[in-house]
Amino acid sequence: MGSFEYHVKLTYTERVLLYLLEFERYKERHTYPYGVTQRGIAEAIDILPAHVPRTVKKLIVEKLVEERFGRVEGSPRKVRVYFLTETGVQKANELKQRILCEKVMVKHGERNTEKEISELTNFHKSFFMLLKAISACETIELDKIGQQPEPKLKRYVELWYTLPELSEFFGREEELSIIESILNSEKPRFISIIGPWGAGKSALAYKCLERVKRNSNILWYTLKKNESGWNIITAIARFLGEMGKKTLEELIESAKEIDIDEFLRILSIEIEHMRCVIVIDEYQNANEEIVDVVSSLVKLIREGIKLKLIITMRADTPSYMWYYSSKDIEEGYGIEIRLQGVEWEEAKQILKNTLIPEENMRQIMMLTKGLPGVLKAMAQNNERILRENTRLTPEEIRLLMFLKDTKTA
């Protein structure tokens, strides 16, 4: 694999210790950087991803590294990530101090001189990357040591706050096409996805993001009841911070509250020239503070700030809690997508039974309105979800459970 071949002789486990030492500040975050995943570690220390578990296992047994499951920036699913334990930090620092005393041959101008590695630390902000740089050649050219490429960062940021559990996606091609077209256009707009419980609003929003995430920065925020507007502002500030725009994040760290106009002013500046999609899921849980924040984002869209906003909400959300007016729709600043049930064939796929007799299927569609969430609960035999989230009577639920398992003779 090549790295560390000449000057610094390190085992793979020692490489992991030194590499993870640089991720201590990320331990307490809600989402973790790609660098602490198995693949991230493999790319950094120059081994195959399949060899990382075996290498790390030794360190876990020695209580130098801990394994966690968490969400990684850029992925909605939880994966294995690794951090140093307190003992591991101590061991890594001891190893670092030993390496700093080692000597290497350095070329500066026409002269070759021997220097301790400790004298070179100012030439690269990452100690681990410094080691890779000085180990790539037998004589180090001092003028070039700081020009070694650092690990590639994702060009686009993805930040997820409580992504809901999403199941298989069926149909909705027309809606997907409309939303994808809006997200890929240059014009700032908001998209309001409206429908009853179980209509698949969140699933549709997520499916749209899958199609544009290669060219957009994405923030997903699922609203819980009684949340403050400050929570969303903080999430947006962190989102900008991940893109290297730190002004709002720094302001929030030093203040207990922020004026909404000041928030808009900074956001409009920092988001300029960025392709950003912000999703607020479960908007029916909003309170007045949340309405103010989301309405302010629509205000930016009306002013031409290049922002795409997707809001999912139930159809019975009170009108006084809506974040936009009919005039915004008429003037082209936003669009409403009102979801109904899926078609018969898609419903059969969700129920995992394509042989349901026609008359039985007609009854199922009449009672469920073809709502994916209701059909999914039926497929899982989850009567509790149906009782808690629908107006179906116990008798109707029992009938549906019977009908879904019938098959044409």
User: Which of 292, 307, 338 is the C-terminal boundary of a domain?
Assistant: 338
Are 307 and 392 in the same domain?
A: no
Give pTM, 2 decimals: 0.61
Residue 80 included in any domain:
yes
Number of domains in the chain: 3
Alpha carbon 240 to its chain's center: 13
Are 233 and 313 in the same domain?
A: yes
Residue 6 included in any domain:
no
Give the mean pLDDT of 87-102.
Answer: 87
User: Which of 98, 119, 147 is the C-terminal boundary of a domain?
Assistant: 147
Average pLDDT of the chain to the nearest whole number = 83
The DSSP secondary structure of 303-332, one letter per residue, reads: TT---EEEEEEETTS-GGG-SS-HHHHHTT
Are 108 and 241 in the same domain?
A: no
Are 106 and 183 in the same domain?
A: no
Q: What is the CATH number of the domain that holds 46?
A: 1.10.10.10
Q: Which residues contact 373 (CB under 8 A, 6 or more apart)?
A: 197, 198, 199, 200, 389
**Least confident segment among 153-167, 175-189, 192-206, 307-321:** 153-167
Residue 5 included in any domain:
no
Are 208 and 259 in the same domain?
A: yes
pLDDT tens digits, one per residue of 202-224: 999 998 988 888 788 999 999 99
pLDDT tops 50 at residue 36: yes
Q: What is the pLDDT of residue 153?
A: 42
Give the percent of the chain with pLDDT over 90: 38
Are 200 and 288 in the same domain?
A: yes
pLDDT tens digits, one per residue of 137-155: 555 555 555 544 444 444 5
- Residue predicted with more confidence, 103 or 143: 103
Q: What is the CATH number of the domain that holds 317?
A: 3.40.50.300
Residue 47 included in any domain:
yes
Give the percent of the chain with pLDDT over 70: 83
pLDDT tops 70 at residue 31: yes
Are 79 and 205 in the same domain?
A: no
Residue 236 included in any domain:
yes
Q: What is the pLDDT of residue 366?
A: 94
pLDDT tops 50 at residue 5: no
pLDDT tops 90 at residue 365: yes
Segment of 5-19, 104-118, 132-146 carrying the highest mean pLDDT: 5-19
**Least confident segment among 47-51, 230-234, 330-334, 351-355:** 47-51
Give the mean pLDDT of 183-210.
Answer: 92
Residue 115 included in any domain:
yes
Alpha carbon 141 to its chain's center: 40
pLDDT tops 90 at residue 353: no
User: Which of 127, 147, 167 is the C-terminal boundary of a domain?
Assistant: 147
Cα(334)–Cα(183) distance, rounded to whole angstroms?
12
Q: Which residues contact 293 (CB under 8 A, 6 or more apart)?
A: 229, 232, 233, 260
Q: What is the pLDDT of residue 262?
A: 86
Cα 76–Cα 164–Cα 328 angle in degrees, nearest 5: 100
- The residue range of the domain holding 308 is 158-338
Are 40 and 141 in the same domain?
A: yes
Closest by CA to 18, choosing from 153, 135, 107, 142, is: 135
Encode 161-203 in three state secondary structure: ECCCCCCCCCCCHHHHHHHHHHHHCCCCEEEEEEECCCCCHHH
pLDDT tops 80 at residue 124: no
pLDDT tops 80 at residue 93: yes
Q: Are 213 and 274 in contact (CB under 8 A)?
A: no
| Residue 375 CB neighbours (<10 A) | 28
Q: Where are the beta strands (DSSP E) in 75-155?
A: 78-84, 103-108, 111-116, 140-141
Q: What is the pLDDT of residue 22?
A: 86
Are 59 and 207 in the same domain?
A: no
Are 86 and 168 in the same domain?
A: no
Are 297 and 244 in the same domain?
A: yes
Are 172 and 261 in the same domain?
A: yes
Give the mean pLDDT of 86-92.
Answer: 93
pLDDT tops 70 at residue 399: yes
pLDDT tops 80 at residue 76: no
DSSP for residue 271: T
Cα(16)–Cα(44) distance, rounded to whole angstroms?
9
